[in-house]
Amino acid sequence: MEMKLKGEKIAMLTSYDYSMAKLVDQAGIDIILVGDSASNVMAGNETTLPITLDQMIYHGKSVVKAVNRALVVVDMPFGTYQGNSLEALNSAIKIMKVTHADAVKVEGGKEIIESVERILSAGIPVMGHLGLMPQSINKYGTYTVRAKEEVEAQKLIEDAILLEEAGCFAIVLEKIPAELGAKVSQALKIPVIGIGAGGGCDGQVLVLHDMLGITQTFSPRFLRRYLNLAEEIQGAVNSYVQDVKSQDFPNEKEQY
């Protein structure tokens, strides 16, 4: 909130394991999200729905061990907070106790507000998520831009205000018109982090594997690839294979 007041943009990225989280933290990131996108990039699932609470806890615990300075937020996976606020509380407590993370993140507004309030009542910080909500993909049927129509846009604004009033410390807005992203950011006192929600948000988040170019098939308009790591890794592995087969590796200096 201090960064928002100062006009300093917030940089957020995902991480799922110790080694990568250590590098991301040392590079100066503000927030690390242990995203349920691990279901896609780490486990190869088509959606985020299959990942379990125990799997998210495993990833969260691995990340927290590596981090010295960034705020670490763990996604609550599908089925651990929708429709049952007591289960939501128990799930959030388990995440916090085992991972030692700083906060949890949930998707939805009015529909899950009872769960949000119950988690907050235990002193657990909650980050919200509105717009395109990947855990609801079966309801949408597509990953296209959300809230382009007035009715959905108005509901998003109302949900954002509801989450802020409930006590959420920040909200992620995914894949909505840039004008709406800026409008929500201006309307709220808490930080709004965008992913495909325009430059008017208080910060930005991307999936690490996407921005490093490890994933190749996912190319939405909002994604900027800062590296083509897939090519670099494949080149390095290919060189290793050739060196082993040609008996160039190991050489005399690389053995005992």
pTM for this one? Answer: 0.96
Binding-site residue numbers for Mg(2+) are 36, 75, 107
Average pLDDT over residues 109-117: 98
User: Mind listing the pLDDT tens digit for each residue in 19-68?
Assistant: 999 999 999 999 999 999 999 999 999 999 999 999 999 999 999 999 99
Evaluate if residue 242 carries a pLDDT over 90: yes
Higher pLDDT, 193 or 138: 193
Q: In this prediction, what percent of the chain has a pLDDT beyond 70?
A: 100
Evaluate if residue 139 carries a pLDDT over 90: no
Alpha-carbon distance of 12 to 116, in angstroms, equals 22
How would you label 89-106 residue by residue, b for 16+ Cβ within 10 Å and e otherwise?
bbbbeebbebbebbbbbb
Positions marked active-site: 174
Alpha-carbon distance of 45 to 97, in angstroms, equals 27
User: Mind listing the pLDDT tens digit for each residue in 205-222?
Assistant: 999 999 999 998 888 999
Binding-site residue numbers for 3-methyl-2-oxobutanoate are 36-37, 75, 105
Q: For residue 25, what pLDDT is reported?
A: 98
Q: How confident is the model at residue 138 (pLDDT cuts 50, 70, 90)?
A: confident
Q: Is 167 exposed, middle or buried (0-12, 13-18, 19+ CB in 10 A)?
A: middle
Q: How confident is the model at residue 137 (pLDDT cuts 50, 70, 90)?
A: confident
Domains recognised in the chain with CATH numbers: 2-225 (3.20.20.60), 228-256 (no CATH)
